[in-house]
Amino acid sequence: MTDAPKRQMKLGVFANPTGNHVASWRHPDAQADAGVNFAHYAEIAQSAERAKFDMIFLSDNICVREAKMEALSRSAQYVANFEPLTLLSALSVVTSRIGLVATASTSYNEPYHVARKFASLDHLSQGRAGWNLVTSALGAEAPNFGRETHFDHRERYLRAHEFATIVTGLWDSWDDDAFVRDKESGRFFTPDALHTLNHKGEFFSVKGPLNVARTPQGWPVIVQAGGSEDMMAVAAEFAEVIFCAPLTFEAARTFYDKIKGHAASRSRSADTMKILPGLAPIVGRTDAEAAEKVRHLESLTHPVVALEILSTILGGIDFSGYDIDAPFPDDLPATTNASQYVYASAQELARSENLTLREVALRMAGARGKNVVTGTPKQIADMMEEWFEGGAADGFNILPSHFPGGLNDFVEMVVPELQRRGLFRTEYEGTTLRENLGLARPGNRYVEQLTPIAV
Amino acid sequence: MTDAPKRQMKLGVFANPTGNHVASWRHPDAQADAGVNFAHYAEIAQSAERAKFDMIFLSDNICVREAKMEALSRSAQYVANFEPLTLLSALSVVTSRIGLVATASTSYNEPYHVARKFASLDHLSQGRAGWNLVTSALGAEAPNFGRETHFDHRERYLRAHEFATIVTGLWDSWDDDAFVRDKESGRFFTPDALHTLNHKGEFFSVKGPLNVARTPQGWPVIVQAGGSEDMMAVAAEFAEVIFCAPLTFEAARTFYDKIKGHAASRSRSADTMKILPGLAPIVGRTDAEAAEKVRHLESLTHPVVALEILSTILGGIDFSGYDIDAPFPDDLPATTNASQYVYASAQELARSENLTLREVALRMAGARGKNVVTGTPKQIADMMEEWFEGGAADGFNILPSHFPGGLNDFVEMVVPELQRRGLFRTEYEGTTLRENLGLARPGNRYVEQLTPIAV
Ligand SMILES: Cc1cc2nc3c(=O)[nH]c(=O)nc-3n(C[C@H](O)[C@H](O)[C@H](O)COP(=O)(O)O)c2cc1C
Ligand SMILES: Cc1cc2nc3c(=O)[nH]c(=O)nc-3n(C[C@H](O)[C@H](O)[C@H](O)COP(=O)(O)O)c2cc1C
């Protein structure tokens, strides 16, 4: 028998401006101007921090989402919002323990800027920064950066790999104790403690050193999302947290095993990578109360919006030829890999309850294809425990349906239930995101010769 | 006779981490870890705000400054520090009136990112953001962004011009009243209020629209520094505030007339552009006290550092062959245009006081070639009034020798003197940086058809 403390869940909150539900902005509770309302985000971050969440997560696209205007103009998501790094920097001032994770694309940024901004955020927050490394997902981003089309999938991740190599190299530009700042002798830093990267690679050439001191966490925590082989090759080496969106326990467990296997192939132990499936909870004190909350959100959803999102999560299907009040069509054209699970779920749902296209759209698009769990705190905690203990998750990225109500419900009802079960902390373990996630602080490659020095 | 309120100075504070003086970090007062110390910057910003400064200004280079290691390792400036936009975003939370101006380079950034981050800061700060548009000055920046050398001077400003055209175009992506957020009808924004830039130019191709709502200021305030013809061509069209570094009244007045003439040639009235020369004040209650402060800072300056900075401000002269304790050499090789004034001043200083190279270096390099004025509050206010009333300045960018002492001296002694003379505000005129600077809020080009719509 060991005295090892019980393994506990890690929790993130996905801070889509007004919430995860497509109609969230119309909810009576909602701050419809969330995208320009700092006080709103401060409230979310502070609530999540009071509940001891590990981190707040800001997704990002570098464009206005493309959609038919009738649908787009009824949406609050991925239209116009604060830029994540500026917003998290401001949030660092009104929080003290919660991790601050921003998304930045390796396809449309320079590694020096990304290394620098996240390092700066890590200093501002005293060790709470995380970088969600993405390769960009939307076609509309490319033309904002001088390209007609996106890089192809494989090239995207080859660039991402080199990009992460550079960023982490720049984060090691200074030894932890480089800055002696000795007023007496006049020595500000130790000359030997400065390291120049001199990277020349296939896609980037970056000399360095970085003009930010090594950060409290050594490196900000690296997060990734996705699931392709290309993505896993990068994640195996760099990712410390994985966001994913499986819709069933089986899918989650398969993904969990696969990506931890990738990490193992790089000699990483399983607990150096935390897998957090997305979870969109709708919590009620009773089943009926929870069901009523779902119905309310559905009633706020415009069918045009629902159909547009359903089309998007099904890989871009064009529904314009279909009757919205006819049974869900069983002759949909082939979709992309990424949306196959979603497609199967939609068909399953339609068959089992005999639903029309409109009904499927309202049901599935509401949560934007995320894994919704509706019920009492006990039911939701049961599902989370099952995934967590069953090898399908190290925790969850919580997508509240709307802010602040959807988050408050989870915080007030589900978090205490998880704590009672010993599945979630009642106090932060440390002051940095790494400490709370149970991730080691990386040594400096130049000091510890952990990896060959890049030339 | 008119009742027009008396014209008043605009004041910025140049927030070099530990202060403007090369030895500032060694001052007993100084926060030597300023570059990673948020509380330090919060204190500076709040002091400046209590004194009703218009803005706090963060200069920026995207590299570790290059210098011989013996000098560099004794320097706190342009080595390692917070990244400006993340820092100002955090400062927006602990201030409410002072403007927040960050530097961003048009040579090593994407216009979409710059437009977006400054727009985001303008929302976070409720209308206090400013962008110091630079084309990058240091050779060490290029190799951090895949280039061996910098773009040549002319190309730099051609790019800058196109860059500013795009950024301001993106800032007009949404009408001010685009986001109706009508929960009742379900309309989030008005379709006609969204404008796509579709820019295709010589250097950049940027489609838009920007994914941030039009900001409180319409456009963040645009600032520029420099003095070449190339720079003035861009400034004439875009710059609303100019930072400059003349060393004499005559030089300041000549520059003032010239650049306002450039603005006039674009049909801009003189008061749409505010000229703020840099001013490095050393304030004492008596002449003797002020002189003692100078002597103290000089005593903290390592000769190697002084010589390195003197070399830099004289355009890169190599002093290694010179005896530091011999008279200031009169056979210096030709220097760049930018440093001609500084060179003439150094010669003049050496001749008039019979100084050695070491003495000139300590005296001139201390303030990094900036215009130092040493004396009592009255003397300093006299000089400022003379420049301000004499057509050489619309205000000043104050470079305190060290923080917080050098700023506090100015705030406690000089500001009240300026206020007594009616030369500086005792209360902010408005809540936005534009309002305080007396700059109009730009109309949206798509709504007002002020300029042709870019295609
Ligand atoms: C939970 C989750 C969050 C994501 N957030 C972003 C994001 O903020 N920005 C982005 O460009 N892509 C985002 N993605 C997309 C992924 O980075 C990835 O491109 C996508 O899942 C396809 O996987 P693949 O790249 O492995 O093919 C996210 C994906 C998931 C599952
Ligand atoms: C007060 C002042 C502040 C400046 N700040 C910066 C800065 O933060 N970053 C930068 O790259 N250049 C900075 N510069 C350099 C100018 O942008 C410009 O490149 C330089 O003065 C040379 O002028 P020119 O470009 O017109 O030839 C500054 C110049 C002055 C006078």
Pocket probe for ligand 2: among B13, B55, B58, B59, the residue whose CB has the most ligand atoms within 8 Å is B59
Tell me, yes or no, if B210 comes closer than 8 A to chain A by beta carbon: yes
Query: Hey, which residues 27-46 in chain A have their CB within 8 Å of chain B?
Result: 28, 30, 32-33, 35-36, 38
pLDDT at A352: 87
Nearest Cα residue to B113 out of A146, A137, A101: A146
Decide if B209 and A64 are in contact by the 8 Å CB cutoff.
yes
Determine the Cα–Cα distance for residues B170 and A199; give it in Å rounded to an integer: 34
Question: Closest Cα of chain B to A154: distance in Å?
Answer: 22
Helix (H) or strand (E) segment spanning residue A277: strand A274-283
Would you tell me the crossing angle of helices A377-389 and A249-265 to the nearest 10 degrees? 40
Q: Which residue has the tokens 């969330």?
A: A34
Per-residue pLDDT tens digits of chain B, which is 455 residues long: 455 678 999 999 999 999 999 999 999 999 999 999 999 999 999 999 999 999 999 999 999 999 999 999 999 989 999 999 999 999 999 999 999 999 999 999 999 999 999 999 999 999 999 999 999 988 899 999 999 999 999 999 999 999 999 999 999 999 999 999 999 999 999 999 999 999 999 999 999 999 999 999 999 999 999 889 999 999 999 999 999 998 899 999 999 999 999 999 999 999 999 999 999 999 999 999 999 999 999 999 999 999 998 888 888 888 888 999 999 988 777 666 667 777 888 888 888 889 999 998 888 888 888 889 999 999 999 999 999 999 999 999 999 999 999 999 999 999 999 999 999 999 999 999 999 999 999 999 998 865 444 43
Determine the Cα–Cα distance for residues B368 and B245; give it in Å rounded to an integer: 11
Q: Find, in chain B, the residue whose alpha carbon is nearest to that of A170.
A: B144
* Statement: residue A340 has pLDDT above 80: no
Decide if A112 and B145 are in contact by the 8 Å CB cutoff.
yes
Pairing, β A199-200 against β A205-206: antiparallel
Phi/psi region, residue B248 (left: phi>0; alpha: psi -120 to 50; beta: rest), is beta
pLDDT at A452: 46
Q: Cβ contacts (< 8 Å) between A79 and chain B: which residues?
A: 188-189, 211
Helix (H) or strand (E) segment spanning residue A130: strand A129-134
Would you tell me the crossing angle of helices B38-50 and B84-94 to the nearest 10 degrees? 60
The one-letter code for the residue type at A51 is A
For A199-224, what is each residue's pLDDT tens digit? 999 999 999 999 999 999 999 999 99
pLDDT at B187: 97
Q: Find, in chain B, the residue whose alpha carbon is nearest to that of A61.
A: B211
The reply to whether ligand 2 has any atom less than 6 angstroms from the CB of B244 is yes
Over residues A80-85, mean pLDDT: 98
C-alpha A399 – ligand 2 centre gap (Å): 45
Q: How far apart, in Å, do the first and last CA atoms of chain B sit? A: 48
Determine the Cα–Cα distance for residues B375 and B335; give it in Å rounded to an integer: 31
Q: Which long-range contacts (CB under 8 A, 24 or more apart) does A244-249 make?
A: A244/A275, A244/A276, A244/A277, A244/A278, A245/A277, A245/A278, A245/A369, A245/A370, A245/A371, A246/A277, A246/A341, A246/A371, A246/A392, A247/A341, A247/A342, A247/A345, A247/A369, A247/A371, A248/A341, A249/A386, A249/A387, A249/A390, A249/A392
Q: What are the b/e assignments for B33-47, b being 16+ CB within 10 Å?
A: ebbbbbebbbbbbbb
Contact B14, B57 (CB under 8 A): yes
Contact B409, B297 (CB under 8 A): no
Nearest Cα residue to A402 out of A69, A81, A89, A25: A25
Contact B133, B106 (CB under 8 A): yes
Q: Which residue has the tokens 């505000």?
A: B425
Express as a percent the part of chain A with pLDDT over 70: 96
Q: Find, in chain A, the residue whose alpha carbon is nearest to that of B112.
A: A144
Determine the Cα–Cα distance for residues B363 and B352; give it in Å rounded to an integer: 13
The reply to whether ligand 2 has any atom less than 6 angstroms from the CB of B136 is yes
C-alpha A29 – ligand 1 centre gap (Å): 29
pLDDT at B450: 52
Q: What are the b/e assignments for A409-423, b being 16+ CB within 10 Å?
A: bbbebbbebbbeeeb
Q: Backbone phi, then psi, for B127, in 5-degree steps?
A: 100, 30
**Which of A38, A112, A144 has its CB closest to that of B112?**
A144
Contact B280, B294 (CB under 8 A): no
Question: Closest Cα of chain B to A388: distance in Å?
Answer: 36
For A60-74, what is each residue's pLDDT tens digit? 999 999 999 999 999
SS (H, E, C) B259-322: HHHHHHHCCCCHHHCEEEEEEEEEECCCHHHHHHHHHHHHHCCCHHHHHHHHHHHCCCCCCCCC
Contact B223, B321 (CB under 8 A): no
Ligand nearest to the CA of A105: 1
Nearest Cα residue to B276 out of B382, B403, B370, B402: B370
Q: Confidence band (pLDDT; 50, 70, 90) for A337? A: low
C-alpha B370 – ligand 2 centre gap (Å): 13
Determine the Cα–Cα distance for residues A373 and A353; give it in Å rounded to an integer: 18
Structure tokens at B125: 């700060």
Over residues A389-405, mean pLDDT: 97
Determine the Cα–Cα distance for residues B278 and A282; give it in Å rounded to an integer: 58
Neighbours of A400 (CB within 10 A): 29
Neighbours of A378 (CB within 10 A): 11
Determine the Cα–Cα distance for residues B125 and B216; give it in Å rounded to an integer: 9
Query: Hey, which residues 295-334 in chain B have their CB within 8 Å of chain A?
Result: 300, 302
* Statement: residue A33 has pLDDT above 90: yes
For ligand 1, atom 31: residue with the closest CA = A244
Q: Find, in chain A, the residue whose alpha carbon is nearest to that of B39.
A: A124
Ligand 1 first shell, C-beta below 6 A: A 59-61, 103, 105, 134-137, 225-228, 231, 243-245, 278, 338
Decide if B183 and A82 are in contact by the 8 Å CB cutoff.
no
Q: Confidence band (pLDDT; 50, 70, 90) for A454? A: very low
Question: Closest Cα of chain A to B101: distance in Å?
Answer: 14
Contact A72, B209 (CB under 8 A): no
Q: Backbone phi, then psi, for B328, in 5-degree steps?
A: -55, 125
CA atoms within 13 A on the CB side of A372: 22
For ligand 2, atom 16: residue with the closest CA = B226
Pocket probe for ligand 1: among A87, A134, A155, the residue whose CB has the most ligand atoms within 8 Å is A134
Residues constituting chain B:
455
Q: pTM for the full model?
A: 0.96
Decide if B80 and A213 are in contact by the 8 Å CB cutoff.
yes
CATH assignment of B10-287+371-450? 3.20.20.30
Determine the Cα–Cα distance for residues A185 and A430; give it in Å rounded to an integer: 35
Helix (H) or strand (E) segment spanning residue A223: strand A221-225
The one-letter code for the residue type at B214 is R
